[in-house]
Amino acid sequence: MNTKKVTFKNADMAWDMSALILLPEAFDESKCYPTMISVHPFGSCKEQTSSAVYGKALAELGYVVIAFDASFQGESGGVPRYVEDPSQRVEDISRVIDYAVTLPYVDADRIGGLGICGGGAYIFNSALTEKRLKAVVGITPVNVGRLFREGFSMHDPLSALDAMATQRTAEARGEALQVNELLPPSVEFAKENGLTDRDVLEATDYYKTSRGQAENGATRMLFSHAQKTLSWDAFAFAETLMTQPMMAVIGQKVGAFGAYRDGQEIYGRSFASKDRQLVELEDWSHYELYDHPEAVGLAMDKVAPFLETHLK
């Protein structure tokens, strides 16, 4: 497998986007390949699970894979930094497809998408209107709008919005930006401070240790620019607009970030899909599905034939 880093932008962008293109073995640029857009989680970057785990697995199956950094994050451009804007994240997917269809070895009629965690919900939301996506997979997908309205705002979204408004006004008047760190510095620190939830502890173990830590995997968010996240629903209108084949893969070891319920919800609402599938893995958790070899292997055992049916 060969990997190359690229930067690109299209006519409606004021900044460059950064991506890794993973090419299958025996790649021949004169041929056309089915292509997968790989979308990283909330607070992640392209060098983590979206390329190193799932991107690699997809390339080994014969797909060209484009794993990219979201705008305002990683090595992609856009200021201010650390903005998590769901609508922007979804638009980024279309921009990556715009780039992909200019590559001579990409078959524009065989483009699919796979996302992990927040990226899983973003790829589902993109598919509602982006019909160049022919099949989509969410690995332990999290609807970040629902998560922000609940756990991230302590179930008090109106107070969070008031605080964001106050902070944004202060920043507009010249005060320092408020960039929130989303995870404890270590698992030990989390436990010492009474944090016991599976997802919080496992996220910290992934993002704050050599297991998954990467230079641009920030786990930070610009607080003042997160207002619109609280009014966003990844699955709105899925009942009528999710027409493509879709698969949600979730683990039954449940944590506070809610991927188990979100995977069930998007599956249940996607009854217009040509082929909807829900894969539940009994012994695995949200973050084990990021990179645990056995959990990833079980997921790919389902993902591979699903994509083979719809993209090859």
Rounded distance, CA 24 to CA 63, Å? 6
Handedness of CA 203, 184, 227, 19 (dihedral sign): negative
Complete domains list, the chain, with CATH: 2-152+232-311 (3.40.50.1820)
89 Cα distance to chain centroid: 9
Per-residue pLDDT tens digits for 4-60: 999 999 888 899 999 999 999 999 999 999 999 999 999 999 999 999 999 999 999
Contacts 24+ apart (CB under 8 A), 129-134: 129/241, 130/93, 130/94, 130/97, 131/243, 131/244, 132/94, 132/97, 132/101, 132/108, 133/37, 133/93, 133/97, 133/244, 134/109, 134/110, 134/244, 134/245, 134/310, 134/311
Half-sphere exposure for 11 (CA within 13 Å, toward CB): 0
Mean pLDDT of the chain: 97
pTM of the predicted model as reported, rounded to 2 decimal places: 0.97
Rounded distance, CA 61 to CA 75, Å? 27
pLDDT attached to residue 218: 83
Count of positions (residues) in the chain:
312
CB atoms within 10 A of CB 104: 8
Average pLDDT of span 240-257: 98
Rounded distance, CA 173 to CA 266, Å? 41
What type of residue is 102? T
How far are the Cα atoms of 139, 222, 286 from residue 248, in angstroms, in the given order? 6, 29, 12
pLDDT attached to residue 263: 98
pLDDT attached to residue 44: 96
- In the chain, the percentage of residues whose pLDDT exceeds 90 is 97
- The residues pairing with 249 across neighbouring beta strands, listed in sequence order, are 139, 279
Which pair of structure tokens corresponds to residue 196?
């016991």
